[in-house]
A and B are shown apart, each in its own frame.
Chain A
Amino acid sequence: ILNVEQSPQSLHVQEGDSTNFTCSFPSSNFYALHWYRWETAKSPEALFVMTLNGDEKKKGRISATLNTKEGYSYLYIKGSQPEDSATYLCASLNSGYSTLTFGKGTMLLVSP
């Protein structure tokens, strides 16, 4: 079983704070790393798909980096807003495994 770990499990910040969370995955036979945002009462929505070591992706105030050699990815949110409140999921795909393995997510709450 592929082990994908996310930390912290939950996070509570104030509006305007910048924050970041971590996704750890096995570095061996790496193929792709996905980030999804899952808002309450909705379905997960893709943020980024990253494949190359050193990859950096950005979407508005949200960005992500990827280190495939050491097996981690960071997700950054600059100037958090209440609408950023959601669970952020990462998922890793490694060769030898048939499909994505999801972490349990980081639950972010942004207070006004």
Chain B
Amino acid sequence: DSGVTQTPKHLITATGQRVTLRCSPRSGDLSVYWYQQSLDQGLQFLIQYYNGEERAKGNILERFSAQQFPDLHSELNLSSLELGDSALYFCASSVEYRGGKLFFGSGTQLSVL
């Protein structure tokens, strides 16, 4: 058990809908990262928060947004969902601001039908 909690584990929804993925980092970790894993792609970095502030942004679509709350949990919001958004979404946490070992949650498998 990595200590990172992600919910829900599975999500099935329809095109055009909006969903929220939730992540609670390990106790003491200030950095939260979101990654997308889809078929034939490696782990694609979406966004990082550090202690409530957005620190780094990857190839995150404008339809996607995230935030980190004062208790350090984070949410990833995906809207106007398309079939191509179907993927495994991971949250990871780290104690460091940059470059630290990542501890991954169990992921949320999103299926857009």
Which residues from chain A sit less than 8 Å from chain B, CB to CB?
Answer: 31-32, 34, 36, 42-46, 49, 89, 91, 93, 98-105
CA distance A36 to B43 in the complex (A): 12
CA distance A100 to B96 in the complex (A): 13
Contact A43 B107 (CB under 8 A): yes
Contact A49 B2 (CB under 8 A): no
Contact A104 B58 (CB under 8 A): no
Contact B42 A45 (CB under 8 A): no
Which residues from chain B sit less than 8 Å from chain A, CB to CB?
Answer: 2, 4, 33, 35, 41-43, 45, 48, 55-58, 90, 98-107
Q: Can you offer 28 A-B residue contacts whose CB atoms are under 8 A?
A: A31-B99, A32-B99, A34-B102, A42-B106, A43-B4, A43-B104, A43-B105, A44-B43, A44-B102, A45-B2, A46-B102, A46-B103, A49-B99, A49-B101, A89-B42, A89-B43, A93-B98, A93-B99, A98-B55, A98-B56, A98-B58, A98-B98, A99-B48, A99-B98, A100-B102, A102-B45, A103-B42, A105-B42
Contact B43 A46 (CB under 8 A): no
With most chain B CB atoms within 10 A of its CB, the pick from A46, A98, A99 is: A99
Residues of B within 8 A of A102 (CB): 35, 42-43, 45
CA distance A49 to B42 in the complex (A): 19
CA distance A82 to B90 in the complex (A): 26
Contact B105 A99 (CB under 8 A): no
Contact A101 B45 (CB under 8 A): yes
Residues of A within 8 A of B41 (CB): 104
Residues of A within 8 A of B103 (CB): 46
B94 vs chain A, min Cβ distance (A)? 10
Contact A45 B104 (CB under 8 A): yes
Contact A104 B99 (CB under 8 A): no
B26 vs chain A, min Cβ distance (A)? 12
Indicate which residue in B2, B57, B99, B105 contacts A100 across the interface (CB closer than 8 Å): B99
A64 vs chain B, min Cβ distance (A)? 14
